[in-house]
A and B are shown apart, each in its own frame.
Chain A
Amino acid sequence: MSDFTPQELNIARQYDLTSKTIPFLDRHLVYPIVESLRDIYDDKVIAQLSLDLFKDTYMTQFVKDQYKLVQGSVPAELAEKEAQIEKTFAQLNEETKEILSVLANQEVQDHLKQDKSLNKEFLETEHGITEAKINKLLEFGQFQYNRGDYTMASDLLSNFRILSTNQESVISATWGKLAADILRVDWEQALKELTKLREVVDSRSFSDPLTQLHNRTWVIHWSLFPFFNSENGLEQLLELFMSSSYLSTIQAASPWILRYLIAAVVSSENSTKNNLSNPVFQKRLKDLIRVVGQEQYQYRDPLTDFIKALYIDFDFNEANVKLQEASVILKTDFFLQNIAEVFLENSKHLITEVYCRVHQRIDIAEISKNLNLSKEEGEKWVAHLINETKMNAKINESEGTVILEHQASSVYQQVIEKTKALSFKANQIIASTLQKQE
């Protein structure tokens, strides 16, 4: 529990997405999210949740601790299980030792080539490594992952992937490696894995479209981890989520992801830089508004409401209220904590922008109130804005207003704008066609 007011807690709990995202995440991946819920729930609840989460895994030490927290005692069968796990571990360790030592051999490494079937032949004849032994690697990798030794799991799985020729197992190893990398907080590696998975999911022809849909929802959910934590992740997230197939996946199967999409669009770097003239951002915003409007009936939270209030209903007061609520969510949501500040800053920017587009004369007092700033701060804010975006606006200090000059572009200007690029384009087409003929 931390420093939130009861109302804020209420909002945070009401819009907590954990229960919705859990089905799409791996057990281990849920843990950090559950951990982050400490802000809004009791420690006791969290302990219970973590216990439920890990009861079936091999992380006995951790489970013991949680039992102590929740019940005060550790059930007897746990010790038994622990022994069992130790035994399996020793066995698997023994079984994979051989192959690992072979792989560690410099000579062998030099021999390995691009072609997997060749490699397999080579290993089998020279070192007696059969398919079954290779598969042990996968098993051990899964075991290690389940034990919570993610680094080891990641290594094992990547070794397995190099050797195995079984397409299915390679894919599941890739999923496993992605999870392990996420949990090791190795974002760079995780992103690489993610790209591989995306290729698989998008390119493979699934017999059942539903399977592909499921795979996509997993990609979407898992990718939230690296995207929100790595540099330039937001850009990549937008590229992925805004692509048509993923956008419709979000709409069809997991509308709550809209929250992250909104957060990413608003907080992406583009929005701070002169966004009126940035076509990429405008396009994304337009798509976002459309999707939010369409999904109103399925999913609502303060973030979607904010977008709706600002861009669909043009209700600035409402937008402001929703922004306040959204700020709580941003601070409590596991993924959004990093970008909370940027988001709030940028959304103020957006409000002002729309405000200026519609108005000709603005009362500074009014807009300051809308932005939750004091009057002086508001004036500064506006001055800063004018400076930054080179808007055609002046502050009338004595009246306390801002006057904005909307210039209707003249007809001539419009026609020139539209037709300006035409001849260039035509030339381009001709050039490329000629090139092709050559």
Chain B
Amino acid sequence: MSRFFQGGLSDSDYSSSEEELLSSSEEELLNSSDEDDLSEDSEFANDDDSDDSESDSDDDQKGPSYFLKKSFVKDESDDDSDDDKKVVKSAKDKLLDEIRGAITIIDSSKVINEWDSVLSEFDKLNRLLVRAGQQNVPIPNMFIKSLVALDETVTNFNSDPERKKLNASMSKAFNTVRQRVKKSVREQEKLVEAYAENPEAFEKDDASYSAQSSAAVLEQEETEAPIKPGKSAHTAGIFRVLRSVIESRGKKNVDTADQIKQLEEAVELASTPYEYISLYLRLIPLRFDAAANTGLSPEQFSATAKDINALFEVLEKNKATYAVLETAAASDDIEIEPTPNANGVCEILGSVVSFVERLDDEFTRSLQQIDPHTTEYLDRLRDEQLIYTTIVRAQLYSEAFIPQAEISKPSADQLSRIIVRRIEHIYFKPASLISLNERKTWESLAFVSQKSYIAEYSDAADYTDKLLDALSSVLYKQTTATYRKRAMLSHIYYYAFNNKYYKARDMFLMSHLQSTIHSSDAGLQILFNRALVQLGLCAFRNGLIQDAHQNLFEIATSQNLRELLGQTYQRFNNQQQQQQSASATDRQRQLPYHTHVNLDLLEAVYLTSALLIEIPQYAAGVLEESKQKQAKTFGKYLEGHEKHYFQGPPETTKDHIMHAAKALQKGNWKNAADLLTSVKVWKFFPEAETLRNQIREQVQVEGLRTYLFQFKTLYSKLSILKLSQLFELPESKVSAVISKMIFNEEIAAGLDQVSNTIIFTKGVKLTKLQELALSLADKSVQMSERNERLAQQSNNSYNGGSSSQRGSHQNQRQHQNKNNSNLKYAPVTGALSSAPGSISGALNGMDRRKRTTTARA
């Protein structure tokens, strides 16, 4: 009998432990294979057809934790009748019957060479075996017997001349059967050998086994029958309730609400810590199960959170004697307390961390579903504090069992998981908010005696930095790359968001994530994009226009910006295969609204930096080859804007910036600055006023440059004094700007120190033909250089470059240097030129995969 319980137990734990094993890409595969399973199951679970298809379609909308329930779904379809007790019997016997039936068909079909039916039955048989494994039914001996017989037949038949007479499809089926049988034999090697040695024993065992199993069922029925749960206050009663709950878990037509009530009552009656722990360990998953399809309602949610915290309380109080560990051994009988280990601690199998994770998932899911513009969303968001506190508590609890020295070992995985959760709750927040959060959390956790060795709470101003550093550094030590990457990106995001540009940028460049991010899963890629965007915004706040433009350029001009940032699950797809709203994974990937990057702001920042960089270039006329590529987008916007017949006053952010661009082109910098600073979204930056001033200063300088470029042909001399009045800049600044332009040969002019004027050199205005001739010359130089490099490469590969002349050697070195001179920035541009594009590429890749799976289904 205990075997059944064990099955039930390990099944429920399986579901929680399964969660972390799955990376999202695997999920899909599993999901699809699961669906296959389901459709197959319905063949014999025929009275359940409607249910099955329901859960099938449900599967698409179950949100973040849908894969958690997979195992439940499996169970549901396994057990099809109303009555619990009968179920046990019929499921198992039915299984055996099925197996027996399949074997009979195989036996008869193989004789008449119906290989296709052998194949289908054999497949079915394998599936049944998988299910048998799930129900802890050992592999039936009759299977081994039939397997060996089949193997023999196949081997014999292969050399049989009749084999050649089979038609194409039969022959194909035969080959497949042959391979599968071989595979099965290999898998079941031991049993097969045992059978070969002693076939009779198998016959006997088989009989005894079925007798034993039916006896067990009977016995169980007897014990179960008289239970009236929750009525008596005895321990036995509590465990009886528990047992009945465990048994019916995941089955159809079980009134979970009723069971929850029973358990709740039992909790009130419980007296020993062990009872509490066991009860909570069942009650909490049950609560999750109860709302598996709909998501937890706020009431259910708070009840669950309360239970989890109550569990923590019990555990914290009895730290010396009881521990819930993922690594503990499964117990056969729940009534018996596990024997204490060497330190006097009873280890109970379970995972508090997965409870908290599940709770967090539920929270995220509800945030994804609620319309973010309603008050409901805000109300829900208030629960975050609760979740966060619970997460911290779980972290503390895990720390108690994982010594600091073992932090990077695989056994410390649960700690890393909970830390990932914790980081996810704070990385996108400003430091002040985090410290507020932390303060409240630690206030409510004041009674917990466990001290964190990872990050002790303090009032210090730089506490948040230290917290993030400490948490991330734990994850950096993990062997799992995903944890490391996630921590790295969140860390970067945090610093960028909190205005520490250089720190964030250096981390970004040194992480070398750009080179590996393409192969990461979509969630990580989204985080990567978010970090990149935040870095760009941060650069802008710090007045580093060039850097901001470089960081944002590709992502801001992308067509599916929202998608790249995980802010929508709708996808731009021209093929309308999946026009039918997004799939579960897509939804899951979407981030809750309060974590979103403000896209308006992103656009404003990008366009403003583009304006400041490109307008002077336009005015300069000759755009360099390399710059032209970047300039295109802004130019396009501008052209589009100019095409309008009627240009009203600016309304949107973009309008403002376009008008500003035009004003700047006319040399009217004041107007441009006014337009730019009146853009409303700036107020979302923490220090809006300084930012406005900064923009103004930038516009002054760029305005001056534009002015000079635009009107240089009209003047022979310009007084610096006048320019400084015009642009309200100090004279020294004006002359510095002009000096720079002259030094970089942007304008042909010289300063006259005596009269304090700028003198333009005459006769340098080029005709169109001359311009073209120049660019032709440039291009031919480029071509020649490329040629040279090519020749050198092949030279080097042939004779190690030994024979190349000295002159070319030097050239080569210069080339290397030229490439290397960009070293520090190279990764960024590399990322920009490829990252977002390839991320959408990755998404598309997923599409394709999904298409094939749907086609298969």
Contact = CB atoms under 8 A, between A and B. Distances in A.
Nearest to A316: B739
Given A358-B742, A415-B773, A298 B781 contact: no
Nearest to A309: B736
Contacts of B777: 414-415, 418-419
A294 B739 CA distance: 21
Contact of B787 (A247, A298, A357, A426): A426
A212 to B, nearest CB: 14
Given A252-B510, A360-B752, A433-B791, A283 B817 contact: yes
A407 to B, nearest CB: 9
A361 interface: yes
A40 B499 CA distance: 38
A422 B784 contact: yes
B823 A244 contact: yes
Contacts of B817: 242, 244, 283, 287
A428 B651 CA distance: 61
A199 interface: no
Interface string B779-823: 011001001100100110011000111011000001011001101
Nearest to A313: B736
B637 to A, nearest CB: 30
A248 interface: yes
B766 interface: yes
A359 B808 CA distance: 37
Interface of B is mostly: helix
B451 to A, nearest CB: 31
Interface in A236-295: 242, 244, 247-248, 251-252, 283, 286-287, 290, 294
A357 B746 CA distance: 13
A422 B821 contact: no
Interface string A374-407: 0000000000000000000000000101001010
Given A290-B821, A361-B754, A436 B794 contact: yes
A426 B785 CA distance: 10
A363 B753 contact: yes
A406 B609 CA distance: 34
B194 interface: no
Interface in A289-319: 290, 294, 297-298, 313-315, 317
B778 interface: yes
A362 B751 CA distance: 8
Interface in A407-437: 408, 411, 414-415, 418-419, 422, 425-426, 428-429, 432-433, 435-436
A401 B754 contact: yes
A366 interface: yes
A185 interface: no
A412 to B, nearest CB: 9
A432 B803 contact: yes
Given A406-B750, A411-B774, A435 B803 contact: yes
Given A415-B777, A436-B794, A362 B753 contact: yes
Interface string A351-372: 0001001111111001000000
B824 A248 contact: yes
A435 B788 CA distance: 15
Interface in B754-771: 754-755, 759, 761, 763-764, 766, 770
A339 to B, nearest CB: 24
Contacts of B759: 360
A314 B743 contact: yes
A432 B805 contact: yes
Given A315-B732, A436-B799, A408 B742 contact: no
B477 interface: no
A314 B701 CA distance: 14
Contacts of A283: 814, 817
Contacts of B732: 315, 317
B814 A404 contact: no
B800 to A, nearest CB: 12
Nearest to B785: A425
A186 to B, nearest CB: 31
A378 B763 CA distance: 33
A97 B708 CA distance: 81
A401 B821 CA distance: 40
B3 interface: no
B85 to A, nearest CB: 61
Candidate in A294, A297, A314 with the most chain B CB atoms within 10 angstroms: A314
B791 A358 contact: no
B611 to A, nearest CB: 23
Contacts of A414: 774, 777
A188 B9 CA distance: 76
A248 B781 CA distance: 30
A63 to B, nearest CB: 39
A242 B823 CA distance: 12
Nearest to B804: A432
B502 interface: yes
A359 B751 contact: yes
B795 to A, nearest CB: 6
B269 interface: no
Contacts of B766: 411
B740 interface: yes
A321 B364 CA distance: 59
Given A314-B736, A360-B759, A418 B781 contact: yes
Contact of B743 (A242, A287, A357, A401): A357
A283 to B, nearest CB: 7
A432 B764 CA distance: 41
Contact of A425 (B743, B784, B794, B799): B784
A428 B754 contact: no
A411 B787 contact: no
Contacts of B778: 418
Given A408-B764, A411-B773, A432-B803, A359 B752 contact: yes
A314 B740 contact: yes
B750 A404 contact: yes
A363 B784 contact: no
Contact of B739 (A244, A286, A298, A314): A314
A30 to B, nearest CB: 28
Interface of B: 502, 506, 510, 732, 735-736, 738-740, 742-743, 748-755, 759, 761, 763-764, 766, 770, 773-774, 777-778, 780-781, 784, 787-788, 791, 794-795, 798-799, 803-805, 807-808, 814, 816-817, 820-821, 823-824
23 contacts: A242-B817, A244-B816, A244-B823, A247-B823, A290-B821, A313-B736, A314-B735, A314-B743, A315-B732, A358-B742, A358-B750, A359-B750, A406-B761, A411-B766, A411-B773, A414-B777, A415-B777, A418-B774, A425-B784, A428-B805, A428-B808, A432-B804, A433-B791
Given A252-B510, A360-B750, 16 more contacts: A242-B817, A244-B816, A290-B821, A314-B739, A315-B736, A359-B753, A361-B750, A363-B754, A406-B750, A408-B761, A411-B773, A411-B774, A426-B787, A428-B805, A429-B787, A429-B791
Nearest first, the 5 closest Cβ-Cβ pairs linking A and B are: A360-B750, A244-B820, A314-B739, A418-B777, A361-B752
